Amino acid sequence: MAAKMTVPRIREHKVSVGDDPLVMLTAYDAPSARMVDSSGADIILVGDSVAMVVLGYEDTLQVTIDDIAYHTAAVSRTNPSAFVVADMPWMSYHVSKEETVMNAAKLIRAGADAVKLEGGRRRLPMIEALIDAEIPVMGHLGLTPQSVNVMGGFKVQAKSTKAALDLVSAAKSLVHAGCFSLVLEGVPSPVAAMVTEAVDVATIGIGAGPYCDGQVLVLHDVLGIEQRVLPKFVRRYADFHGEGVQALAKFADDVRTGKFPGDEESYQLNEDVVDEMKLYGTM
């Protein structure tokens, strides 16, 4: 079993000093957590993407802190070697510092090793309150899906010089406030490279190109569990949906043609019981 990943090991992880890029994947339940951990991933993210890829919502705004705690508990019951990060959902860290800390505590008590939250400088007071409460925080900048309505859709961010420089400066502020790592989502590669160079903690990219200290993708996209249209930055490594449908159609066919269940899937009586029952005329 691999040694458990830790906050200091993730914080210090930089490709520029010769480290291999970190691997982060989402998982939302015990079987998916076991699969991700067995693959050797460094970090499991219990993402609020659960809203879209598991619960059937159009965006991530519908999930609550209790939903994420429920899924985090299922993941952490598997005791993964990978480090478990739980997403703070929309409205769980926007109202007050007290509420933010109590909500994050729910995720830590559910088994998370750290929490992740979206946004730039406006989140600094909440990040500082979490760090004060000894809760490790992963930041998330660029395309922040919880801001979908403000951004007018899921759009690549930081495309102008000003927006790119703002992003670099926000990244520095988040790290100064205590974030041990930053997710960079949906930003041009050169901007992610600038951030990765500017901060001394690990950056983990999704749709942010190769110049990050790690990469994250959503499990359902990597495995092809759904046939939805995928963003440009996803690479699909399997067709679980296609193979699953084929297997289920074969099962349906076997049931309808009497091929399932066979003897090997059925329980039998001992011979003496069969003989006895014959006496009673029941067989």
Residue entry with tokens 């000894």: 134
CB of 95 to ligand KIV, least distance (A): 21
CB of 113 to ligand KIV, least distance (A): 16
Footprint of ligand KIV on 33-92 (CB under 6 A) = 45, 47-49, 87
Establish whether the linkage from the previous residue to 31 is cis, with ω within 30° of 0: no
Nearer to ligand KIV, 49 or 100 (CB): 49
The token pair that represents 231 in the structure block? 């963003």
Q: Are 223 and 28 in contact (CB under 8 A)?
A: no
The token pair that represents 14 in the structure block? 């930089």
> What whole-number distance in Å separates Cα of residue 233 and Cα of residue 246?
27
CB of 218 to ligand KIV, least distance (A): 5
Q: Binding to ligand KIV by residue 225, rule CB under 6 A?
A: no
Contacts of 221 (CB under 8 A, 6+ apart): 53, 230, 234, 236
Q: Are 265 and 250 in contact (CB under 8 A)?
A: no
Q: Tell me the sheet residues that pair with 18.
A: none
Nearer to ligand KIV, 233 or 240 (CB): 233
Q: Binding to ligand KIV by residue 32, rule CB under 6 A?
A: no
Is 185 one of the catalytic residues?
yes
The CB-nearest residue to ligand KIV is 47
Catalytic residue among 185, 243, 264, 276: 185
Footprint of ligand KIV on 164-203 (CB under 6 A) = 183, 185
CA 224 to chain centre: 15
- What is the per-residue binding string for ligand KIV in 234-263, x denoting contact by CB under 6 A? ------------------------------
Count of alpha carbons within 13 angstroms of residue 102, beta-carbon side: 7
Which residues of the chain form contacts with ligand KIV (CB under 6 A)? 26, 45, 47-49, 87, 183, 185, 206, 216, 218
Kindly list the catalytic residues. Answer: 185
